[in-house]
């Protein structure tokens, strides 16, 4: 927000087409917001997404669909003008599940429905 201090963090993805969660849900003592940029050069950053109030007044959000090795810049700042304080940024990266699950074909193949759920999707 205008007038608020901003702290920048860099994160590089390690899994193709993963779900990456950025949040300040555990440990912020003021209203936080996060903006995620693609790239590592400040002159050419591209905004990917912004998150505010994903967990109460604290920021939480997900991005997905980027190849492994993609570099992101996370900007953490106040969701309200001129606020500042202590915060903890957590980043979690996980594999996405395919709604149809893995597909294998053998000479004697047969259909199987799995009962495994991953990130809310049948795998």
Give tens-digit pLDDT for 20-64. Answer: 999 888 878 888 889 999 988 888 999 999 988 767 777 888 999
Query: Is the predicted pLDDT of residue 2 greater than 70, yes or no?
Result: no
Q: What contacts 24+ positions apart, CB below 8 Å, involve 82-86? A: 82/1, 82/3, 82/4, 83/1, 83/4, 83/30, 83/31, 84/4, 84/5, 84/30, 85/28, 85/29, 85/30, 86/27, 86/28, 86/29
- Say if 44 falls within a structural domain: yes
114 — pLDDT class (breaks 50, 70, 90)? low
Structural domain span for residue 78? 6-96
Q: How many domains does the chain have?
A: 1
- Say if 123 falls within a structural domain: no
Output the pLDDT for position 10.
94
- Say if 106 falls within a structural domain: no
**Of the ranges 47-51, 102-106, 107-111, 119-123, which one carries the lowest mean pLDDT score?**
102-106
- Say if 84 falls within a structural domain: yes
- Say if 119 falls within a structural domain: no
């Amino acid at each position: 927000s205008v007038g608020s201090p901003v702290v920048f963090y860099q994160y590089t993805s390690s899994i193709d087409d993963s779900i990456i969660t950025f949040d300040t849900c555990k440990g912020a003592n003021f209203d936080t917001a996060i903006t995620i940029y693609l790239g590592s050069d400040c002159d050419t950053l591209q905004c990917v997404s912004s998150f505010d109030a994903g967990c109460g007044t604290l920021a939480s959000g997900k991005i997905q669909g980027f190849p492994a090795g993609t570099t992101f810049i996370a900007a953490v700042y106040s969701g309200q003008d001129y606020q500042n304080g202590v915060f903890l940024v957590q980043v979690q990266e996980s594999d996405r599940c395919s709604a149809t699950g893995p597909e294998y074909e053998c000479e004697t193949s047969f259909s199987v429905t799995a009962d495994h759920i991953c990130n809310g999707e049948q795998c």
